[in-house]
Amino acid sequence: MTSAEERGRDLAERARSGDRRGLARLLTEIENRTRVSEAALRVLYPMAGQAHLVGVTGAPGAGKSTLVAALVRAVRATDRAAAVLAIDPSSPISGGAILGDRVRMQEHAGDRQVFIRSMASRGHSGGLAAAAADASAALDAAGFPFVFLETVGAGQSEVEVASIADTTVVVEAPEMGDEVQAIKAGLLEVADLVVVTKGDRPGAQRTAAQMRAMLSIGAADHGAADAGPDMSAVEHHAAAGSDVSAVEHHAAAGSDVSAVEHHAAAGSDVSAVEHHAPAVGPDTPDTAPATHAMSRGRRRPKRPQVLLVTAPTGEGIAELVEALDRRLAARTSGALESARLARAAAQLDGILTERLRSRLHDPRLGIEVDHLVRAVAGHELDPYEAADRVMERVAPAR
């Protein structure tokens, strides 16, 4: 017991002092959810909270790893260190995994200011590994100003990363669906930034334009953000024209929205969209009182900035890093704070669940779980009654 605590404190110390081997070992302990890791995290947690924890998610093959590699390159160009935690799925059959995200990150293999760690999901659903939050905290405490958390190839509802990361970047490959895909609930809703990758492919700019048009709907109240300045709104005003609303209002006015898309397709880069859009659509401030009233008292949808990048050439990446830095600079203003509250709640919830579950099997409490499960399976006992009986032992109500 004591030795686990000593080893945990030792690993924490080594991780803090820049010992990469110590950090690597600590991450293994964290992944295995050991007592050593718990002891280390008790030491490290108060030192974490300095890093910008950026979640990168999207469908398999959308370009997450390539984007992360490009982000690391851009961050290194500003002389800052970066850590990457890349999750790949574990086999539900064998428990094994192929962790292949490093393939796209080879250029950083020799850089000692970059630390890349692959992690298998080990049966955890939601797009991450159970240890992802703790591992991120360790990398944060080890002093990396950026921690990129790359999820498994995500479907529409694997949104857990949004409860762990400060900023959630959703990666969309071109031509993966129409505008209806862009307005579906789920992954895109949790995006703080949407990045359309493979910008050199035909259709990339069209996809970006569609994303902009669809994700800005319901954006009427950006002047009255409930928790401080909305970053996407700031971005919106900072842009040369009122790009997104131009598209939107153009459509609303009954004109042909494809005209805007046509301009986008004809332009040589994404700024063409922003440049042309105001010319074809009225540049009016976007106000829609009805939408505002409807969203009152509910959580407002995010209005993610949409960026178009070509990761291998680095096009658009500097802008993405700037957007990330702006978001961090506004950390006291609400958006980031609520992300961190969500993370803390998720962490606490996870630990409580884990502890409750381990008490379930504590022989001293004498809970016959198997017996209860069998009784429920045989319909002799309803599952609620079974849960009540367990709770009486584990945490009796006063």
Partner 1 sequence: MSERPIKVLIAKPGLDGHDRGAKVLARGLRDEGFEVVYTGLRQTPEMIASAALQEDVDVVGLSILSGAHMTLLPRVCRALRDEGLTDVLVTAGGIIPDDDIPALHEAGIDRVFGPGTTIGEVAEYLRSHARSRGDA
Residues engaged in binding partner 1 (CB under 8 A)? 7, 20-21, 24-25, 27-28, 31-33, 90-91, 93-100, 102-103, 106, 109-110, 115-118, 120, 122
CB of 114 to partner 1, least distance (A): 9
φ/ψ bin of 359: left (φ > 0), alpha (ψ from -120 to 50), beta (otherwise): alpha
Closer residue to partner 1 (CB): 299 or 361: 361
Closer residue to partner 1 (CB): 112 or 398: 112
How many CB atoms are closer than 10 A to CB 304?
Answer: 25
Element (H, E) at 84: strand 82-88
- Give yes or no for a contact between 164 and 343, defined as CB atoms under 8 angstroms apart: yes
Q: Is 294 helix (H, G, I), strand (E, B) or coil?
A: helix
Closer residue to partner 1 (CB): 129 or 190: 129
CB of 106 to partner 1, least distance (A): 6
Of how many residues is the chain composed?
A: 398
CB of 167 to partner 1, least distance (A): 24
CB of 33 to partner 1, least distance (A): 7
CB of 226 to partner 1, least distance (A): 41
Closer residue to partner 1 (CB): 25 or 73: 25
CB of 65 to partner 1, least distance (A): 11
For the chain, state the CA radius of gyration.
24
Closer residue to partner 1 (CB): 20 or 42: 20
Residue 342 CA, distance from chain mean position: 12
Closer residue to partner 1 (CB): 94 or 332: 94
- Give yes or no for a contact between 311 and 173, defined as CB atoms under 8 angstroms apart: no
Residue 50 CA, distance from chain mean position: 17
CA-based max dimension of the chain: 74
